[in-house]
């Protein structure tokens, strides 16, 4: 029996990120095509001004609205809010359009669920929809979101976060992961997997997959010697790397080294080394069939027991479960 229509309304406005809009729309369209029991997503683009207005996106490509904000009404099953950024000397600055914020605030109570893509989380926060919730956004604006909205618990790491009926997605391409998760919630994992196969992407990355790797997530520090040490650690993961050895390499006392390293990187030396080793293990689990004991030895974790403990601490899952989910080989 065909499913009832599910109305997805995507907000569009000048300089909106193009993929934030078209990525989810493509996922929902493919869900309609791949569904054996008749999934029926109906996607509408809504924006300020009259219906039929052409809106220029950040890529210069224009999209045409189906509805004016004022005409959306209350029949909204999923409200999807993408984002836009303005250049700033301190990094990308999310655009907070008061017209969009007011419309999101007024429409959200009538929506079955609300989701933001990338820096669209800043619009949800400005509308008061993230108060008391955990949320994510693009890693480059996470600190700004946390500073501007201290009532929001910002986690910059996950691909997406669900908090009740409010979902927030991370950096731009994560819109696909978010939309696939919404399809899975509506119609089950099998349909989401069928869509993912058509898109040639992973079904989901939220179970331990971060927005970025450890080196990317730790920007350059104010000390060249710390940055050189970080490169040394990455190149020598199988070596013995306790804090005492790293401190000696920098000709510092262990206590002083620990203070300096933590201040500069935001994490302890031991946690940093473990995170790099887990990341290396993730890559082996994703791309090889090496047994767990070899993965552990090749990444400096040394034993299967240590590998398991590190995965539980860092990713909240087991190495075997991670491989089953994210193995990329045939």
Catalytic residues: 118
The whole-angstrom separation of Cα 7 and Cα 80 is 11
How far is 110 from 108, CA to CA, in rounded Å?
5
Strands 160-163 and 166-169: antiparallel
Measure the CA–CA gap between 281 and 287, rounded to whole angstroms. Answer: 10
d(CA 213, CA 100): 33
The conformation of residue 3, written as its DSSP 8-state character, comes to P
Long-range contacts, 285-288 (Cβ 8 Å, 24+): 285/319, 285/322, 285/323, 285/326, 285/327, 286/323, 286/326, 286/327, 286/328, 287/328, 287/329, 288/329
Read off the DSSP letter of residue 5.
P
- Dist. CA 65–CA 180, nearest whole Å: 23
Please identify which residue in the block is written with the tokens 């080196």.
215
- Are 134 and 145 spatial neighbours (Cβ–Cβ below 8 Å)? no
Cα dist from 15 to 55, 116, 179, 221, 323, whole Å: 8, 16, 21, 33, 39
In the block, tokens 């890693």 appear at: 139
């Amino acid at each position: 029996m065909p499913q009832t229509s599910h109305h997805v309304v995507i907000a569009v406005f000048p300089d909106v990120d193009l993929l934030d809009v078209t990525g989810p729309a493509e996922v929902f369209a493919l869900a309609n095509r791949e569904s054996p029991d008749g999934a029926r997503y109906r996607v509408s683009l809504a924006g300020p001004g009259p219906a039929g207005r052409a809106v220029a996106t950040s890529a210069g490509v224009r999209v045409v609205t189906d509805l004016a904000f004022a005409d959306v009404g209350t029949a909204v099953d999923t409200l999807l809010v993408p984002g836009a950024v303005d250049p700033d000397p301190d990094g990308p600055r999310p655009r907070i359009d008061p017209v969009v914020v007011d419309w999101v605030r007024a429409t959200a109570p009538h929506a079955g669920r609300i989701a933001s893509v990338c820096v669209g989380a800043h619009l949800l926060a400005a509308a008061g929809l993230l108060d008391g919730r955990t949320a994510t956004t693009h890693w480059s604006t996470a600190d700004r979101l946390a500073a501007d909205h201290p009532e929001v618990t910002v986690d910059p790491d996950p691909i997406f976060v669900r908090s009740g009926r409010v979902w927030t997605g991370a950096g731009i391409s994560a819109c696909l992961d978010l939309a696939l998760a919404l399809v899975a919630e509506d119609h089950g994992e099998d349909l989401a997997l069928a869509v993912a196969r058509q898109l040639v992407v992973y079904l989901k990355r939220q179970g331990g997959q971060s927005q970025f790797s450890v080196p990317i997530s730790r920007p350059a520090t104010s000390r060249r010697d710390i940055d050189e040490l970080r490169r040394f650690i990455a190149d020598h993961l199988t070596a013995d790397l306790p804090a005492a050895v790293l401190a000696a390499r920098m000709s510092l006392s262990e206590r002083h080294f620990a203070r300096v390293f933590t201040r500069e990187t935001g994490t302890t030396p031991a946690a940093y080394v473990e995170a790099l080793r887990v990341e290396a293990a993730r890559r082996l689990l994703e791309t090889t069939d090496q047994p767990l004991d070899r993965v552990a030895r090749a990444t400096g974790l040394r034993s299967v027991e240590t590998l398991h403990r590190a995965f539980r601490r860092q990713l909240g899952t087991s190495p075997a479960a991670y491989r089953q989910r994210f193995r990329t080989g045939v």
